[in-house]
Amino acid sequence: MAGCVARRALTVGSRWWSRSLAGARGPRLYCAAGGAGAFPPAATTMTRRHLSSRNRPEGKVLETVGVFEVPKQNGKYETGQLFLHSVFGYRGVVLFPWQARLYDRDVASAAPEKAENPAGHGSKEVKGKTHTYYQVLIDARDCPHISQRSQTEAVTFLANHDDSRALYAIPGLDYVSHEDILPYTSTDQVPIQHELFERFLLYDQTKAPPFVARETLRAWQEKNHPWLELSDVHRETTENIRVTVIPFYMGMREAQNSHVYWWRYCIRLENLDSDVVQLRERHWRIFSLSGTLETVRGRGVVGREPVLSKEQPAFQYSSHVSLQASSGHMWGTFRFERPDGSHFDVRIPPFSLESNKDEKTPPSGLHW
């Protein structure tokens, strides 16, 4: 029946999306013309959860965004690939890939556990495996609707002068794991709204994907490689709460005749169960090569106590740490509360804070 199109809606992140089964290359992707903020948040990962028409807000028009493609099981996505984030639901575009070492304690080798050491709590022997992550731009239209779930200014860098307190943030820049990419195509020549999109990418209809890197993107990547580079990823699951940590070395500053080394770290908390839990406390231990061991306790993280549920399963944030030594380790626990008032601790996988050995020029920010 040519005049009849079967549609099904699904919720991803805090946006409502609809998929049409009549796409040429795959299901079509729609979003609400009124903006995601007009809809109630109802996030899920990309499971095939259906919504009947009676659940759709009345009077809202769905606009075509693009056509879904089949996710890649092997190989990497190219610069210019459009995608939907499978957990947070925002639209984005791939700038370039990073090859990271993923240390997954959930699949650690069967070697016996070691004794407690400065690197963490009774560490298992964990071997890293290569995993692909992507530097991406987030569509600015989606940033307001994911801000309670994921920071949209998570990539920060030191100022290129001697004021060690000055940190700058780039809005709408993120790191995305390969399995979180849901690729799609669009006929729009500017499908992503971000101030850097047209400065970094050029439309070329002869290419697939039809967006290619400008020289400004290559120059920016090369110049800012030291503080952008993602090298190690650490992951561990406790009672169905998975914690993923990505540390980044930011550089060194001189302060009061001593050297201060800075790192940022990005943490993603993900509830793999259907039970509702809320993060209440954090407990960090920070070991420095200088021999100091610092303990930090506090309520929540970045001023929040996020709830992780089946509808909103994940929360992601970034923070910073400084040491008066060129390397160290961090580890700890997050305390969660169940609806019945009981608590349980979730382990934060231990991770190294390593400085870059060779001299690097200060980050250039967004200026060329």
How much of the chain is in helix, strand and coil states, percent to nearest 5? 10, 45, 45
- How many structural domains comprise the chain? 2
DSSP result, 24-67? SSS-EEEEETT-GGGS------S----B-GGGSPTTPPEEEEEE
| pLDDT tens-digit map of 331-359 | 999 999 999 999 999 999 999 999 865 44
74 & 151 share domain: yes
Q: Within the chain, which residues score under 70 in pLDDT?
A: 1-26, 32-61, 108-125, 153-154, 157, 159-167, 356-368
CB-neighbour burial class of residue 28 (10 A; exposed 0-12, middle 13-18, buried 19+): buried
pLDDT on residue 169: 75
Q: Which of 231, 263, 292 is the last residue of a domain?
A: 231
Domain assignment of residue 71, given as a range: 62-108+128-231
Please report how many Cα atoms fall inside a 13 Å half-sphere around the Cα of residue 151, on the Cβ side.
20
pLDDT at 49: 34
Provide the 8-state DSSP code for 304.
Answer: B
* Residues 362 and 246 placed together within one structural domain of the fold: yes
Answer yes or no: are the C-beta atoms of 173 and 138 closer than 8 Å.
yes
Give the predicted TM-score (pTM) of the model: 0.80
Question: Residue written as tokens 């995601």?
Answer: 36
Claim to verify: residue 154 and residue 194 sit in the same structural domain: yes
- For 112-165, give the DSSP string: PPPPPBTTBSSPPP---EEEEEEEEEEPTTTHHHHTTTB-S--EEEE-SSS-TT
Report if residue 46 sits inside a domain.
no
Q: Is beta strand 91-104 parallel, antiparallel or unpaired with respect to 232-238?
A: parallel
